[in-house]
């Protein structure tokens, strides 16, 4: 697990004034990574690091020479960031990531001698267009919230809500990486086969039960060789960082197709990422003890370790908001639907990596793991509309007076996330938002 170092010092302040404001998502203690382009360079994507409402263009910073005295590891890391995606940087590993983080932290602190050179490398975030931060070769979606699994199970199998394997094995399925987009994505309501209640035959129709799933995304750094499992003690050395992730879901499509092989068209039409990837090193102050109820099965040996028990959980506060088309037209702000915390996940990041590779599966830099819907133990912590509406039986009233059981065309869904802890600076994940568009005409 990553240990605390000088970059986590809550007293650090930046010469970028906006990074020092209360409630800022991107203070100097965060320094998350993204990929962006600006008007005038429409085909040229650069790697950026957030600081306040600005970001450091790492291609420009490298060219300016600000890392010349930062040491060979930081220089190699900065060179790897002179690319249109983060894959090369992700592949370098934690020592290189940490060296560049320290170099950036030092150069962005109040009084840093690099201020003059680095100041011209800043780009306002508001001026940028963001892209998916890495080439995602493979994407696996997990099911790590026991509260979500139980809530959904009660709707589908009231007498047997939680299947017997859930508490023994991190459940996951292989998803579609080609339809993963960046925040701001416009999502078409999908067409597929659905079996309507009481019908004897399915029909091709737009999904009528379109939902979001509140997840965190986990980006893989260095991969592992095919046939070589990653042990728990090394699992997080293979993880670069985390972001917010909306895994849009067509519940009526899912209900018809998911047996016997699981999600297919109900999930592969769109998923949306937040632009910023918060590194595992930045998350160090928010680690918490990972626990398993004594009445539950304890993890098999390959899914357990002293480090897991000591600090395997991560406290990430998560929120879901909605803004309907009518609310937007009336100038009404988005409305919060729920909140939860990633610390309540039943399976940890390290357990996902260890299980994914125990059979010899090879992960590669830039691969993405989805955490699965993050729901908490109380009703207000449900991470999907399926749970909030009790499977469509209980409607929610928006501030505009509109009722919702599932998403309607024109609805914008926003996720936000942040970490807080005593004696640590607050750091944020920014947001991920997406808007639902009407279905295309049927073929």
Helices 72-80, 94-108: axis angle to 10 degrees equals 90
Active-site position among 148, 238, 339, 355? 148
Q: Give the CA distances from residue 219 to residues 93, 366, 432, in Å, rounded to whole numbers and listed in that order.
A: 12, 6, 16
DSSP state of 19: G
Helices (H) and strands (E) counted in the chain, each on its own, are: 12, 26
Helix H segments across 275-357?
A: 306-311, 325-329, 349-357
- Token pair, residue 166, equals 């859930």
Q: Has 148 been annotated as catalytic?
A: yes
> What are the residues whose beta carbons fall under 8 Å from the beta carbon of 143, sequence distance 6 or more?
149, 166, 170, 171, 172, 372, 373
Q: Which regions of 306-373 does DSSP assign to beta strands (E)?
A: 313-314, 317-323, 335-341, 368-370
Q: Give the CA distances from residue 148 to residues 207, 215, 344, 372, 376, in Å, rounded to whole numbers and listed in that order.
A: 22, 11, 11, 9, 8
Q: For residue 57, what is the enclosing H or E element?
A: strand 54-57
> What are the residues whose beta carbons fall under 8 Å from the beta carbon of 2, sequence distance 6 or more?
94, 236, 280, 281, 283, 284
Residues annotated catalytic, as ranges: 148
């Amino acid at each position: 697990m990553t240990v605390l170092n000088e970059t986590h010092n809550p007293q650090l302040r930046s010469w970028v004034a906006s990074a020092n404001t209360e409630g800022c998502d991107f203070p100097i203690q965060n320094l998350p990574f993204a990929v962006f382009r600006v008007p005038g360079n429409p085909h040229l994507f650069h790697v950026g690091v957030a600081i306040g409402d600005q970001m450091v263009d790492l291609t420009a910073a490298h060219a300016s020479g600000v890392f010349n005295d930062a040491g060979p590891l930081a220089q190699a890391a900065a060179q790897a960031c002179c690319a249109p995606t983060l894959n090369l940087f992700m592949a370098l590993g934690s020592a290189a990531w940490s060296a560049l983080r320290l170099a950036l932290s030092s150069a962005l602190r109040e009084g840093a001698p690099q201020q003059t050179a680095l100041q011209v490398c800043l780009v306002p975030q508001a001026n940028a267009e963001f892209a998916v931060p890495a080439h995602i070769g493979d994407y696996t979606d997990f099911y790590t919230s026991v509260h979500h699994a139980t809530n959904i199970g009660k709707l589908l199998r009231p007498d047997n809500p939680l299947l017997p394997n859930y508490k023994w094995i991190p459940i996951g399925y292989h998803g579609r990486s080609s339809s993963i987009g960046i925040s701001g994505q416009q999502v078409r309501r999908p067409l597929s086969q659905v079996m309507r209640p009481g019908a004897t035959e399915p029909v091709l129709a737009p999904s009528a039960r379109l939902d979001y799933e509140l997840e965190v995304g986990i980006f893989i750094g260095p991969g592992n060789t095919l046939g070589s499992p990653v042990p728990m003690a090394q699992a997080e050395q293979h993880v670069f960082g985390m972001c917010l992730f909306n895994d849009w879901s067509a519940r009526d499509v899912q209900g018809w197709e998911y047996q016997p092989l699981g999600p297919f068209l109900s999930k592969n039409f769109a998923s949306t990422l937040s632009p910023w990837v918060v590194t595992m090193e930045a998350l160090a102050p928010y680690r918490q003890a990972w626990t398993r109820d004594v009445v539950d099965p304890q993890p098999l040996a390959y899914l357990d370790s002293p480090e897991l028990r000591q600090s395997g959980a991560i406290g990430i506060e998560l929120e879901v908001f909605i803004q309907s088309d009518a609310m937007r037209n009336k100038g009404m702000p988005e409305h919060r639907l729920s909140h939860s915390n990633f610390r309540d996940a039943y399976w940890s990041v390290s357990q996902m990596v260890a299980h994914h590779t125990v059979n010899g599966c090879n992960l590669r830099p830039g691969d993405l793991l989805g955490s699965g819907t993050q729901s908490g133990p109380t009703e207000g912590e449900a991470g999907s509309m399926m749970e909030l509406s009790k499977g469509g039986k209980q409607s929610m009233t928006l501030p505009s007076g509109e009722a919702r059981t599932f998403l309607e065309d024109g609805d914008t869904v926003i996720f936000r996330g942040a970490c807080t802890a005593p004696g640590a600076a607050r750091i944020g994940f920014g947001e991920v938002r997406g808007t639902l568009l009407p279905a295309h005409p049927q073929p």
